[in-house]
Amino acid sequence: MADSFAGAEQELHEVASSQTSLTDFGDEDYRPALRRLLAALDSDPRLTSTGRQFAYGMVLSTLVARLHTEQGWRERPDCLQHAIVRPLVIIGIPRTGTTALHKLLSLDPQFQGLEHWLTEAPMPRPPRAQWAGHPAYQASVAALEAYFTMMPDMRKAHDVVAGEVDECLEVLRQSFTSNRFASSVYVPSFDEWFLTQNELPSYRRYANVLRLIGADEPDKRWLLKNPGHVAQIEALLDVFPDACVVQTHRDPLLAIPSLCSTLHMSRRMFEGDAARADVLGPRECAYWSRAVEDTERVRRSRPAQFHDVHHRDLHADPLGILRGVYAHFELEFESSVEADMRAWLGANPPAKHGEHRYRLETYGIGVQDIERNFGPYRARMGLG
């Protein structure tokens, strides 16, 4: 690779094209954000040699996904006319139960979801029986195995499986104006710029990526999940105005250090022992406290579109919580689906891959910082 990330912009595009035999990256509107990110990777983190490879791969894989997306839209332009009606969308501060709820709901065949491997190579979703023989699926499986071999503790905090549903963030990053980058790697100069940006263009592209992936099942209801939607609720409802939103809640005194621990693992991948834990807490407190208050303002104007799930209740009575979700949005809950969910719960107990341990003070914050940032939210939702 080039000596600098900023100097590798053209090289990255050429490598992405060589890997896919595709050349159309779409509209150039992503270039300013990409250049901001590349410049930040040169100046902000103290990357190890392995970390440089990870950072290069992070940008490269995003460009590869753009190429697959543009090719898909050329081959299936009809998909862009499909309406996405009343998607079920899970939002909430990270580490509040969004993943467990998402995995459970994805067992219901009335929903279609965003499988991890298709976020990396968007295309009309092939029949599941064909996935194992698909080169893009095989590449995704291999990449995840290498990732978790290098970072085994990450599986305790956030397991990812190629053929299972994943977060919308993995598609939203195609525009490079995304929290995906500032959370994964220490790039404060990029983050300062990102926090002033409007993500609506990213959301419009993301909605069209969903239309591509679901091109052969346009009438099947979407099940989506992204904690970050709570920070971009207006953009989400701009592209999906009739969305059925499930918002998860957990005391930030527990959720924020759990999130910081997970992000620190990611950053160690890039910087090794140089990765700073103490910078995480202040940033995540500010970001997510603003997010929940922004969402609260929107909720007041359309309360019927939102349904609350508390982390403690999800752990205590998961099927009861699921029945509440189905009832609120008038969805049919088949007995066979409930049986599948019971089986999943039995096979996936909490801490299946080991206990995820963390301490608040490690991340540059204390109890008083949580209360200062989240006091109104904690009181409103009965947390703590």
- Residue 110's SS3 state is coil
Concatenating the DSSP letter of every residue in 326-364 gives: HHHTT----HHHHHHHHHHHHHS-TTTT------GGGGT
Tokens representing 1 are: 């690779």
* Cβ density class 137-175: b for 16+ within 10 Å, e for less: bebbbebbeeeeeeeeebbbbbebebeebbbbbbbbbbb
Q: Give yes or no for a contact between 68 and 119, defined as CB atoms under 8 angstroms apart.
A: no
What is the extent of the structural domain holding 57? 6-381
* HSE-CB for 226 with a 13 A CA cutoff: 26
Task: Classify residue 113: in a domain, yes or no.
Answer: yes
Task: Classify residue 188: in a domain, yes or no.
Answer: yes
pLDDT at position 384 is 77
Split into its structural domains, the chain has a count of 1
Task: Classify residue 376: in a domain, yes or no.
Answer: yes
- How far is 112 from 131, CA to CA, in rounded Å? 16
Q: What is the mean pLDDT of each run of 10 residues along the chain (384 residues)?
A: 92 98 98 98 96 96 98 98 98 96 98 98 97 96 86 73 95 97 96 96 98 98 97 98 98 96 94 96 97 97 97 96 98 97 91 65 96 97 92
pLDDT at position 87 is 98
- How far is 25 from 13, CA to CA, in rounded Å? 9
Task: Classify residue 28: in a domain, yes or no.
Answer: yes
Task: Classify residue 1: in a domain, yes or no.
Answer: no
pLDDT at position 149 is 83
What is the CATH number for 339?
A: 3.40.50.300
pLDDT at position 353 is 46
